[in-house]
Amino acid sequence: MANTAFTTTEADQFLIDGWAATVEQTRKRRLIMADVMVDAKVAYSAPVRGFQNLTITKTGLLNSGTARTKSEGNNNTLTYDTETGTPVTLTVNQWKYQAIEVEDFAQALTTFQIQDTYLNEVGEVIARDEDAFLAGFIDNFSNTGGALAVENSEDELLAAIQSLNDNDVPDDMRSWVFSEKAYSRLMAQGKIGSMDFSDSRPVQSGNIPSLYGTPVRHSPNVEGTNAAGHDNGLLRHSAVTRYRVGDFPKVRPVMSEDNLSEKVSVSNIYGAVEVRDADGYWLKGA
């Protein structure tokens, strides 16, 4: 008679499935766009609540920027100029939410706090949404250079700087915005990666804090894909004005008596508008 040993088949009732005591949650994404744009509440004293459309008035140079010549003599009267201006309107038209519901029965059968665990995920979705919306303004800038899915050259980077300089854009409060792929490819450029041209030693530190004196920001949320390319850019904060209503994002926890469950939602109401087209540069790239 052959010997028979217990295998996992025969010993199945004794085998234990365990659960880790912690949950591996979604990584928080590096979100940057709100930091490189103007908040209407600060720039234009916009109320916390109370409007759907905010008209931002703009002026232009009189007589197309040409000073008039005065001739001698009493009969050569002055010409008085006017200028209409082209206002822009910030419309609050984005209303986004994310919500979850956990039945009491499901919660009772686990040691995890399901709602608390997923509340972080809900908030992350809302934060990424607004950041992506703002990132979509970069490819609206009229001034542009580079090519999608192609690494940017130094000449293309300098052309972006020249574009803002040519349009009298102040040097302060400018920011470079790069996708993660474009940002990583900057390391390969001799001047940028070399200790001879940078105090930060990008190759050793893996960090490029600034480029030609302007802060560098990078995020996976920059519009585009690694295959098709990204909408990188150089902009001053005055290029785009953003506005988030009042105390939003707002969290609403609710206990449902009808469903015997706990619900929670996070909502956000916001809008944005391009105010100064020349203050931004669409740098197509990797």
DSSP-derived secondary structure letter, 258: T
265: confidence class by pLDDT, cuts 50, 70, 90: very high
Query: Total structural domains in the chain?
Result: 1
Asked whether residue 70 is domain-assigned, the answer is no
Residues of the domain holding 202: 33-59+86-285
pLDDT of residue 123: 93
Asked if 223 and 132 count as a contact pair (C-beta separation under 8 A), the reply is: yes
**pLDDT tens per residue, range 52-95:** 999 999 999 999 999 999 988 878 889 999 999 899 999 999 99
The whole-angstrom separation of Cα 204 and Cα 189 is 14
Give the mean pLDDT of 192-210: 70
Asked whether residue 24 is domain-assigned, the answer is no
Distances (CA, A) of 250 to 52, 53, 57, 123: 18, 21, 31, 10
Asked whether residue 67 is domain-assigned, the answer is no
With 60 as the cut, is the pLDDT of residue 196 above it? Answer: no
Asked whether residue 38 is domain-assigned, the answer is yes
Degrees to nearest 5, angle at CA 216 with 179 and 183:
35
How many other C-beta atoms lie within 10 A of the C-beta of residue 101? 14
Residue (of 175, 176, 160, 169) closest to 275 by Cα position = 169
- H or E segment and range at residue 163: helix 154-166
pLDDT of residue 201: 66
pLDDT of residue 199: 63
Asked whether residue 66 is domain-assigned, the answer is no
**pLDDT tens per residue, range 99-130:** 999 999 999 999 899 999 999 999 999 999 99
Asked whether residue 148 is domain-assigned, the answer is yes
pTM of the predicted model, to two decimals?
A: 0.89
The whole-angstrom separation of Cα 246 and Cα 122 is 20
Asked whether residue 16 is domain-assigned, the answer is no
The token pair at 194 is: 């070399």
pLDDT of residue 1: 60
Radius of gyration of the chain (CA): 28
Asked whether residue 21 is domain-assigned, the answer is no
Asked if 147 and 251 count as a contact pair (C-beta separation under 8 A), the reply is: no
Asked if 226 and 181 count as a contact pair (C-beta separation under 8 A), the reply is: yes
